[in-house]
Amino acid sequence: MKDLLVKLEVAARWVLAGILLCFSLLCFSCEESPNGSEEESSWQAVNNGLESKHLQILGIHPTNDNLIFAGTWDGLYRSSDEGENWTRVDSGWEYTHVTAIAFNPLDPQVIYVGTQGDGIFKSQDEGLSWTEKNTGLANRNIFGLAVNPDHPDTLYVGTDNGIYWSKNAADTLSKVYWYNRAFVVIDPQDDSRIYAGGQYNNFHRSVDGGIAWDQSSSGLQLGGPSTRIVWVLIDPFTTTNLYACSNSSGIYKSTDAAQNWTGITSGLGGTTDVRVLQLNPANSNQLYAATISGVYQSMDAGSSWQTMSEGLTNVDVKALAYRSIDKFYAGTWGDGVFKWVP
| First-residue to last-residue Cα distance in the chain | 60
Q: Which of 128, 122, 127 is nearest to 145 (CA)?
A: 122
Q: Is 90 exceeded by the pLDDT of residue 18?
A: no
Q: What is the pLDDT of residue 40?
A: 85
Supply the mean pLDDT for the chain: 91
Dihedral pair phi/psi, residue 20, rounded to 5°: -65, -40
pLDDT for 39? 56
pLDDT tier at 29 (50, 70, 90 boundaries)? very low
Check if the beta carbon of residue 201 is closer than 8 Å to that of residue 216. no
The predicted pLDDT at position 2 comes to 40
Give me the pLDDT at residue 216, please.
Answer: 96
Express each pLDDT in 236-288 by its tens digit.
Answer: 999 999 999 999 999 999 999 999 999 999 999 999 999 999 999 999 999 99
Contact 339, 83 (CB under 8 A): yes
**pLDDT for residue 33:** 31
Q: Report percent pLDDT > 90 for the chain.
A: 88
Q: What is the pLDDT of residues 133-172, one digit of tens each?
A: 999 999 999 999 999 999 999 999 999 999 999 999 999 9
Average confidence (pLDDT) over 7-24: 39
pLDDT (0 to 100) of residue 279: 97
pLDDT in tens, 188-224: 999 999 999 999 999 999 999 999 999 999 999 999 9
Q: What is the pTM of this model?
A: 0.88
pLDDT on residue 140: 98
Residue 95, pLDDT > 60, answer yes
Q: Cα–Cα distance between 117 and 98 in angstroms, integer?
A: 9
Please say if the pLDDT value at position 16 is more than 50. no
What's the distance, CA 280 to chain centroid?
11
Q: How does DSSP assign 54-121, residue by residue?
A: BEEEEEE-SS-TT-EEEEETTEEEEESSTTSS-EE--TT-S---EEEEEE-SS-TT-EEEEEBSS-EE
